[in-house]
């Protein structure tokens, strides 16, 4: 039996890696790397590394049936959209604003379950989603972002990114009834890489990185901002379902703030601290509620 606690822990760790990845990507944009180039680098390196790792460690995880190809191509296309829209968003607006918009996805996932799967939304779930969203708003300093004065294209792409991430979570959950999380991710990344080597001149982005520091950040974004966190997130989806995993992933801005405090000495405002605590309380709430109810069609 899969451990729910391990599922929550996996998503929390994924949130930490994503938090550092967003800042790394922003630095690369300042160095002249475009969103198109970074998404090609990210998906290509991630797909090659993961396929090689699985081929060496457990080749059985690469076995799929012919009937799975359409689904995996579809999922890979969604992942390609997730990767690009998020990177393009943070190239146009502050990382904090991009994270805030990205985490509208739990609301979308919960609404999808209620409307299309007839899943019951318990008050605890609604409270947890609302609390985590409000906490995320405070944590990233949304009260001082002047969102409506930001780049309108960036805001629009951010909303599309949130929707793409929600749809990826939903469709991944469906696929993991049949396959291991690493199997799903490996083929989704492969399809995503193929998409971005067709939409952008093949491997052209590899010539855009000019120094070792930038290459280090590219490798971080590809491995610790893509392969590892998406693998952990997939494991979390399988263990605790997409709704709970997406709420838990809202720990990302909390992790980013703690990292900035510890590594950069940044000072957190009282409202940001309150927001971080609200996110943590919301994650604990939804985890506690999930622990006392059976895994049924209801969203607890």
Whether 300 maps to a domain, the answer reads no
**CA–CA separation, 51 and 54 (whole Å):** 5
* Residue 215 token pair: 């290459």
269 neighbors 129 (Cβ within 8 angstroms)? no
**pLDDT for position 60:** 93
**pLDDT for position 182:** 94
pLDDT per residue as tens digits for the range 69-120: 899 999 999 999 998 998 889 888 887 788 888 888 999 998 998 888 888 8
Q: Which domain holds residue 246?
A: 4-292
**pLDDT for position 2:** 55
**pLDDT for position 22:** 79
* Grouped pLDDT means (10 residues each) for the chain, 300 residues: 80 90 84 90 96 95 88 92 89 81 90 86 87 88 73 89 94 90 94 90 90 93 95 92 89 80 72 89 80 48
Residues 6+ apart with CB under 8 A from 170: 109, 112, 242
**pLDDT for position 120:** 80
Whether 299 maps to a domain, the answer reads no
CA distances from 14 to 30, 72, 144, 154, 277 (A): 25, 22, 27, 24, 19
**pLDDT for position 296:** 44
Whether 298 maps to a domain, the answer reads no
**pLDDT for position 243:** 87
Structurally, how many domains does the chain consist of?
Answer: 1
């Amino acid at each position: 039996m899969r451990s729910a606690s391990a599922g929550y822990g996996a998503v929390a760790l994924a949130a930490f890696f994503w938090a550092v990845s967003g800042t790394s990507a922003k630095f690369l944009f300042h160095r002249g790397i475009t969103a198109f180039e970074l998404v090609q680098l990210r998906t290509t390196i991630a797909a090659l590394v993961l396929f090689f790792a699985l081929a060496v460690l457990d080749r059985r995880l690469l076995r799929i049936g012919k009937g799975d190809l359409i689904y995996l191509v579809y999922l890979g296309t969604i992942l390609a959209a997730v990767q690009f829209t998020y990177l393009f968003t943070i190239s146009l607006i502050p990382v904090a604003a991009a994270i805030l918009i990205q985490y509208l996805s739990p609301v979308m996932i919960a609404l999808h379950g209620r409307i299309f799967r007839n899943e019951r939304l318990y008050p605890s779930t609604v409270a947890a989603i609302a609390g985590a969203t409000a906490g995320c708003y405070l944590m990233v300093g949304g009260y001082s972002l002047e969102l409506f004065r930001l780049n309108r294209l960036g805001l629009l792409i951010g909303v599309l990114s949130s929707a793409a991430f929600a749809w990826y979570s939903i469709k991944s959950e469906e696929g993991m009834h049949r396959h291991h999380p690493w199997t799903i991710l490996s083929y989704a990344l492969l399809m995503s890489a193929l998409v971005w080597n067709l939409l952008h001149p093949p491997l052209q982005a590899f010539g855009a990185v000019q120094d070792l520091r930038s290459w280090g950040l590219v490798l971080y974004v590809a491995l610790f901002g893509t392969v590892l966190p998406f693998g952990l997130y997939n494991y979390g989806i399988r263990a605790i379902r997409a709704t709970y995993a997406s709420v838990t992933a809202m720990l990302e801005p909390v992790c980013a703030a703690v990292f900035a405090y510890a590594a950069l000495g940044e000072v957190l405002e009282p409202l940001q601290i309150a927001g971080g605590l609200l996110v943590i309380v919301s994650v604990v709430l939804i985890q506690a509620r999930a622990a006392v109810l059976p895994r049924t069609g209801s969203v607890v």
